[in-house]
Amino acid sequence: MNILITGGAGFIGSALIRHILSTTDFAVVNVDVLSYAGNVESLPLASANPKYSLEVADICDASALRDIFLRHKPNVIMHLAAESHVDRSIDGPGEFIKTNIVGTYTLLEQSREYHQNMDSERKSQFRFHHISTDEVYGDLHGTNDLFTETTAYDPSSPYSASKASSDHLVRAWSRTYGLPVVITNCSNNYGPYHFPEKLIPHIILNALEGKSLPIYGNGKQIRDWLYVDDHATALLQVVTEGRIGETYNIGGHNEKQNIEVVNCICELLEELAPAKPAGVSHYRDLVCFVKDRPGHDGRYAIDSSKIERELGWLPDETFESGLRKTVQWYLDNKDWSERVLSGAYQMERLGGLS
């Protein structure tokens, strides 16, 4: 199998590539524009693997995609490239429209052209796997309700609206043009190599530096947390075993309030990093509440019974075990975080490409 992965230098994409290269003999082509969130240092062993190739390209560039398809001849597309930070989408929605909607459209069109020109045997093997988010479903108001694959879309932010749009495009290309697609919608991911603007790494790194730990509103927003390596396992299982035309929700069975997540991180740091910054008695003392995000959803929760029933997938990590691994990883890999925060990871890349 030859898998083309868009956004493979991002958080989830890099976890997926690490998983594929370490557990299969599949070839991987990583198509990534290497924006601020794309970091080849999240793939430390990939460059030495003969089954891995990196193509620095924008998914909005049709000619670049066409050339990559013709040279690498993938039989599976796994589309993860996306702008994904809600706050950034509120401040500047244009990039989200461009990447998540126009980029997905461009990739679908090039995939359709490529698929049409395949012979019958290769056509039967082809898959277009679109990786999306539970945020397309909007907000859950009940305490026991869950997002299922048939939950109506009700996105709240420019980010989630752009992802909802891309989901609809993928389904339309399947129905109208016969493109063999599968879609997955996941809950909040966390784990190693997570870009520091996201909640869990942001809290870990701020705490280690003695900085404030900001929490939106009252901190009672609920998210279902999924360890990124569990997600990677599910994605590979879906693309190899899932039914064409189906949607699979992927969740971690870990509903937590944001304030609970922050408190859990503080408790772990008390144990794993007891030598605190000057002036800090307890990590929890750094917690502060800030003005809530506009349109902030109150609760997300995934019903992942379909993927469990049909494909036998279950997450390996509990929230407690996954969070411990995550905190320990950031303690053991301070160089990675420092290079991201300083921008060194990008400056060296740009110098190498100039």
Rounded to 5 degrees, what angle do the CA atoms 151, 154, 157 make? 140
Compute the average pLDDT of residues 123-140.
Answer: 95
For residue 350, pLDDT beyond 70? no
Answer yes or no: 271 catalytic: no
Query: Which superfamily does CATH assign the domain made up of 2-192+226-253+298-318 to?
Result: NAD(P)-binding Rossmann-like Domain (3.40.50.720)
The pLDDT of residue 304 is: 97
Q: Which of 17-21, 55-59, 82-86 has the lowest mean pLDDT?
A: 82-86
In sign, the C-alpha dihedral spanning 102, 129, 199, 257 is positive
Catalytic: which of 32, 83, 134, 229?
A: 134
Compute the average pLDDT of residues 110-115.
Answer: 98
pLDDT tens-digit readout, 159-191: 999 999 999 999 999 999 999 999 999 999 999
For residue 341, pLDDT beyond 70? yes
The pLDDT of residue 297 is: 83
Distance set, CA 47 to CA 52, 132, 133, 236 (Å): 7, 27, 29, 21
Report residue 197's pLDDT band, with 50, 70 and 90 as the boundaries. confident
Q: Give residue 324's identity as a one-letter amino acid code.
A: R
Catalytic: which of 32, 58, 83, 135?
A: 135
Compute the average pLDDT of residues 81-109.
Answer: 92
Q: Can you tell me whether residue 52 is helix, strand or coil? A: strand
Q: What is the mean pLDDT of the chain?
A: 94
Catalytic: which of 105, 114, 137, 159?
A: 159
Q: Which two tokens stand for residue 170?
A: 């993928």
Q: Would you kindly state where each structural domain of the chain is located, as residue ranges? A: 2-192+226-253+298-318
Q: Which of 86-95, 102-111, 132-141, 202-211 has the lowest mean pLDDT?
A: 86-95
pLDDT tens-digit readout, 288-306: 999 988 878 889 999 999 9
Compute the average pLDDT of residues 141-147.
Answer: 83
Answer yes or no: 135 catalytic: yes
How much of the chain, in percent, has pLDDT values that exceed 70? 98
Residue 269 · residue 204 · CB < 8 Å = yes
The pLDDT of residue 352 is: 47
Residue 31 · residue 5 · CB < 8 Å = yes
Task: Name 314's Cβ contacts closer than 8 Å, sequence gap at least 6.
Answer: 308
Q: Which two tokens stand for residue 142?
A: 């009940």
For residue 264, pLDDT beyond 60? yes
The pLDDT of residue 354 is: 36
The pLDDT of residue 335 is: 95
Residue 60 · residue 106 · CB < 8 Å = yes
Q: What is the DSSP string of 152-215?
A: PP---SHHHHHHHHHHHHHHHHHHHH---EEEEEE-EEE-TT--TTSHHHHHHHHHHTT--EEE
Q: Can you tell me whether residue 109 is helix, strand or coil? A: helix
Answer yes or no: 36 catalytic: no
Largest CA distance in the chain: 68
